[in-house]
A and B are shown apart, each in its own frame.
Chain A
Amino acid sequence: MADGIANFLTPGELHKLGRLTLLSRYVVEGNLAGAHKSPQKGSSSEFADHRAYFPGDDPKHIDWKVLGRTDRYFIRRYEDETNLRVYLIVDRSGSMGYGSEKTTKYDYACRLAAAIGYVVVKARDSVGLFLHSDKIDVRMDGGNSFLHLNNLLKRVQSTPCGSQTDLPKVMHQVAEDIRKRALVVVISDLFGTPEEVALAFAHFRKLRHDVIVFHVLDPMEIDLGFRKGAQFVDMETQETINVDPRSLAPSYQRVFAEFLEQYRNACASMNVDYRMVRTDQPVDTFVRAYLEERRRLSR
Chain B
Amino acid sequence: MFSFLSPIFLWAASAAAVPLVLHLMQRRRTVRIPFSTIRFLKLAEKRSSSRIRMENFLLWLVRTLLMLLLALGFAMPMLRTRAFGDFLGKSSRDVGLVIDASYSMDYALGNQDSVWERVRQSATAIIEGLEDGDRLCIFLATDDVKPVIEQLSPEREFALAQVKALDTVPTSSQLAPAIMAAWESLRQGDRKEREIHVITDGQALPWNSFQQSDTNRVTADAAPATTNAADPTARASTRMDAWQPEKIDPKATFFITCLGVPNPENAAPVDIDIQPALLVSDTPSKAQTRLTYCGAPRSTSVRLFVNGDEVASRAAALDGDNIGDLLFAVPPLPAGKHPARMETPLDNLPVDNVFHFLFEVRESLPVLCVGANDDTLFLSKALNPGGGNSGGIQVTSVETENLPGEDLSGFSTVILCNALPLSGQEVIRLEQFVQAGGLLVIFPGNGAVANDYKPWSCLPAMPTRITESDRSKTKRLLRWAKPQHPILRNLRMGPEGAPVVTVRRELAWDTLDPKAEMLILSGADTPFMAIRGYGRGQVLLFTISADRTWAEFPLSPFFLPLMHQVVQYGAGIGGSTPFLWASRSLSLSEHLPFASEQDVLADPEQNSVPIRASHSGDKTLLRVENLLKPGVYTITKAGQPESTPAFAINIDRTESDLTPLKREDIPALIGHPNVVVAGDREELLRLIKEHRVGRTLGEFLLWLALALSIIECFYANLKMKSIKSLSETLGVESSGRIAATSHMEPEEPA
Q: Is the CB of A254 within 8 A of B730?
A: no
Q: Is the CB of A290 within 8 A of B736?
A: yes
> What are the 8 A-B residue pairs with the smallest beta carbon separation, nearest first?
A275-B736, A98-B36, A251-B44, A95-B36, A252-B44, A251-B48, A289-B735, A253-B726
User: How far is the CB of A105 from the nearest CB of chain B, in Å?
Assistant: 7
Q: Is B746 an interface residue (CB 8 A)?
A: yes
Which chain B positions have C-beta within 8 A of A10?
Answer: none
Q: Is the CB of B37 within 8 A of A95?
A: yes
User: How far is the CB of A183 from the nearest CB of chain B, in Å?
Assistant: 16
Q: Is the CB of A191 within 8 A of B37?
A: yes
Q: When each residue 249-264 of chain A gets 1 if its CB lies under 8 Å from chain B and 0 otherwise, what string results?
A: 1111111111111001
Q: Is B699 an interface residue (CB 8 A)?
A: no
Chain B interface residue count, Cβ-Cβ cutoff 8 angstroms: 43
Find the B residue at minimum CB distance from A247: B52
Q: For A292, give its contact among B39, B729, B732, B735 (CB under 8 Å).
A: B735
Find the B residue at minimum CB distance from A221: B36
Number of A-B pairs whose CB atoms are under 8 Å? 153
Q: Is A248 an interface residue (CB 8 A)?
A: yes
What's the Cα separation between A98 and B44 when bound, in Å? 20
Q: Is A176 an interface residue (CB 8 A)?
A: no
Please judge, given known A-B contacts A222-B726, A251-B48, whether A236 and B37 are in contact too, CB under 8 Å. yes
Q: When each residue 128-144 of chain A gets 1 if its CB lies under 8 Å from chain B and 0 otherwise, what string results?
A: 00000000000000000
Which chain A positions have C-beta within 8 A of B48?
Answer: 247-248, 250-251
Q: Is A230 an interface residue (CB 8 A)?
A: yes
Could you show 25 A-B contacts with beta carbons less than 8 Å apart? A95-B37, A222-B726, A223-B726, A230-B33, A232-B34, A232-B41, A233-B32, A242-B30, A243-B41, A247-B48, A247-B719, A248-B52, A249-B723, A250-B748, A251-B48, A252-B40, A252-B41, A254-B44, A256-B40, A257-B729, A258-B745, A260-B730, A260-B738, A281-B734, A285-B734
Q: Is the CB of B35 within 8 A of A256?
A: no
- Give chain B's interface residues, CB within 8 Å of chain A: 26-27, 30-45, 47-48, 52, 55-56, 719-720, 723, 725-727, 729-730, 732-738, 744-746, 748-749
Q: For A232, give its contact among B33, B733, B735 (CB under 8 Å).
A: B33
Find the A residue at minimum CB distance from B32: A231
Please judge, given known A-B contacts A247-B719, A248-B41, A290-B736, whether A105 and B36 are in contact too, CB under 8 Å. yes
What's the Cα separation between A224 and B40 when bound, in Å? 10
Which chain A positions have C-beta within 8 A of B38?
Answer: 232-234, 239-241
Among residues 208 to 249 in chain A, which have CB atoms less than 8 Å away from a CB atom of chain B?
214-215, 218-219, 221-226, 228-236, 239-244, 246-249
What's the Cα separation between A128 and B30 when bound, in Å? 45
What's the Cα separation between A277 and B42 when bound, in Å? 24
Q: For A293, give its contact among B30, B729, B735 (CB under 8 Å).
A: B735
Q: Is the CB of A251 within 8 A of B36?
A: no
Find the B residue at minimum CB distance from A99: B36
What's the Cα separation between A250 and B719 when bound, in Å? 11
Q: Is A147 an interface residue (CB 8 A)?
A: no
What's the Cα separation between A293 and B735 when bound, in Å? 7
Which chain B positions have C-beta within 8 A of A285?
Answer: 734
What's the Cα separation between A290 and B730 when bound, in Å? 17
What's the Cα separation between A240 and B30 when bound, in Å? 12
User: How far is the CB of B33 from the nearest CB of chain A, in Å?
Assistant: 5
- Give chain A's interface residues, CB within 8 Å of chain B: 95-98, 105, 189, 191, 214-215, 218-219, 221-226, 228-236, 239-244, 246-261, 264, 275-278, 281, 285-286, 289-290, 292-293
Max count, chain B CB within 10 A of own CB: residue among A221, A230, A247, A249? A247
Q: Is the CB of B726 within 8 A of A256?
A: yes
Max count, chain B CB within 10 A of own CB: residue among A218, A230, A248? A248
What's the Cα separation between A279 and B745 when bound, in Å? 21
Q: Is the CB of A218 within 8 A of B744?
A: no
Which chain A positions have C-beta within 8 A of B47?
Answer: 251, 254-255
Q: Is the CB of A230 within 8 A of B726?
A: no
User: How far is the CB of A92 from the nearest CB of chain B, in Å?
Assistant: 13
What's the Cα separation between A233 and B507 when bound, in Å? 127
Which chain A positions have C-beta within 8 A of B734?
Answer: 281, 285-286, 289
Q: Is the CB of A251 within 8 A of B745?
A: no
What's the Cα separation between A293 and B748 when bound, in Å? 34
Q: Is the CB of A248 within 8 A of B744?
A: no
Q: Is the CB of B730 within 8 A of A232?
A: no
User: How far is the CB of B131 from the nearest CB of chain A, in Å?
Assistant: 57
What's the Cα separation between A264 and B739 when bound, in Å? 11
Please judge, given known A-B contacts A275-B736, A286-B734, whether A244 and B52 are in contact too, CB under 8 Å. yes
Which chain A positions have C-beta within 8 A of B732?
Answer: 276, 278
Q: Is the CB of B33 within 8 A of A246?
A: no
